[in-house]
C-alpha cells in the first residue's frame, strides 16, 4: 500500500470496521435494502468496488454482491482458516467476507459487505 495516498477521513465507527476489521450489526446498514442503479465505492479511498447490477437480496442482513469491478477486491484467508476476508485492493480497507457454494445466484458467490465500508454513487452523478 502506498502510504503517500490521500484517503477520506473516517468516523470512529467507520474506522472500527474499515481499518480494524470490525463488523456492523446485521440489518442496520443503509445499503442492505438499497437497489438504486449505480456504483458502490470504497468509503476510505473512493475506488469503485461493485455495480448495482451485481447486488442481490440474500437475507443475510448485509449488502450482498455476486460480482466485483474487475481487480477491485482482494481475498485474504482469515486467521481462523474458516472464512475469506475481502478488502479494497487499493487501500486494504475491510469490506466483509466472501462465501461460495451457497447457490443464491448463478455465479454461486456472495460478497457479504458492511454498508459502512461503502459509498454509493447513483448512475449519472
User: How many angstroms separate the CA atoms of 49 and 51, rounded?
Assistant: 7
User: Of the residues 42, 45, 88, 112, which is catalytic?
Assistant: 112
88 catalytically annotated? no
CA distances for 89 relative to 59, 60, 66, angstroms: 26, 24, 17
Enclosing H/E stretch for 100: strand 94-100
Residues classed as catalytic: 112
Amino acid at each position: 500500500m502506498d502510504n503517500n495516498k490521500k484517503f477520506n477521513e473516517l468516523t470512529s465507527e467507520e474506522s472500527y470496521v474499515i481499518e480494524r476489521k470490525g463488523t456492523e450489526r446485521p440489518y442496520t446498514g443503509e445499503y442492505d435494502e438499497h437497489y438504486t442503479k449505480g456504483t458502490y465505492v470504497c468509503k476510505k479511498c473512493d475506488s469503485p468496488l461493485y455495480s448495482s447490477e451485481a447486488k442481490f437480496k440474500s437475507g443475510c442482513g448485509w449488502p450482498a454482491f455476486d460480482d466485483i469491478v474487475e481487480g477491485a477486491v482482494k481475498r485474504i484467508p482469515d486467521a481462523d482458516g474458516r472464512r475469506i476476508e475481502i478488502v479494497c485492493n487499493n487501500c486494504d480497507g475491510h469490506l466483509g467476507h466472501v462465501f461460495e457454494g451457497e447457490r443464491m445466484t448463478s455465479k454461486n458467490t456472495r460478497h457479504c459487505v458492511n454498508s459502512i465500508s461503502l459509498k454509493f454513487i447513483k448512475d449519472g452523478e
